Amino acid sequence: MKIAAIILAAGGSRRMTEKNKLLEEVNGRPMIAQVISTALSSHLDPVIVVLGYEANKIRHSISDLNYTHVLNSNWEKGMSTSIVVGISALDKNCAGAMIILGDMPLITVDELKLFIEKFESYHGDKIIYPVFNKIQGNPVIFPSKYFNKLKDLSGDQGAKAIINKHNSIEIEIGSESVLIDIDTKEDLNLIKHNSEYVIA
């Protein structure tokens, strides 16, 4: 079963004043490289990275990785525009797409493989999403039958409405990794200097 990864990496770093947060070093390499490597190691195929803000800088930082990039020229209009661009880049052979946020470097290969196994156990027919302490997290796998609905998203509207409205399966995860995205310098320092957070 062919499952694509769509990594959202187009947005600006409004709360990171010094540099693009996706280029901040995590585990010895840029954060976005960490996220892409995790997706690749999980055997998601293809791995599509949606770029926008500082696209050339990001491309240069991940030039050694085997991924496909697409450009979202409307990235300033919200995350949904990146989802639309990413989904539109998929071929008809994809049974599903895992939408991954580019600023969530704590997600592990084992977690992604667990999501994939659950998706396959439902024959690629159900939306799969993680929860930690009853809080809905990311990433999420969408079956291909929802691709057109994802393409209809607009503005800062996320895919949560689709998840809540349709048949979805949650997976309880024993780690905050599915909730932690890096928005500020404080977030970055927390995961770098707290042994509680292990980066795979």
Q: Which domains does the chain have, with CATH numbers?
A: 3-193 (3.90.550.10)
pTM of the model: 0.94
> Which pLDDT band holds residue 184 (cuts at 50, 70, 90)?
confident
Q: What mean pLDDT is reported for the chain?
A: 92
| For residue 197, pLDDT beyond 80 | no
How far, in Å, are 9, 18, 86, 193 from residue 164 at the CA level? 24, 37, 21, 35
| For residue 155, pLDDT beyond 80 | no
pLDDT digits (tens, 9 = 90+) for 67-91: 999 999 999 999 999 999 999 999 9
> Which pLDDT band holds residue 158 (cuts at 50, 70, 90)?
confident
For the chain, strand residue ranges (E) read: 3-9, 25-26, 29-30, 47-51, 68-71, 96-101, 127-132, 135-136, 140-143, 168-172
Computed on alpha carbons and rounded to an integer, the radius of gyration of the chain in Å comes to 16
> Which pLDDT band holds residue 12 (cuts at 50, 70, 90)?
confident
Name residues whose C-beta falls within 8 Å of residue 14's C-beta, 6 or more positions apart in sequence.
none
What is the model's pLDDT at position 167? 82
| For residue 194, pLDDT beyond 80 | no
Express as a percent the part of the chain with pLDDT over 90: 79
| For residue 106, pLDDT beyond 80 | yes
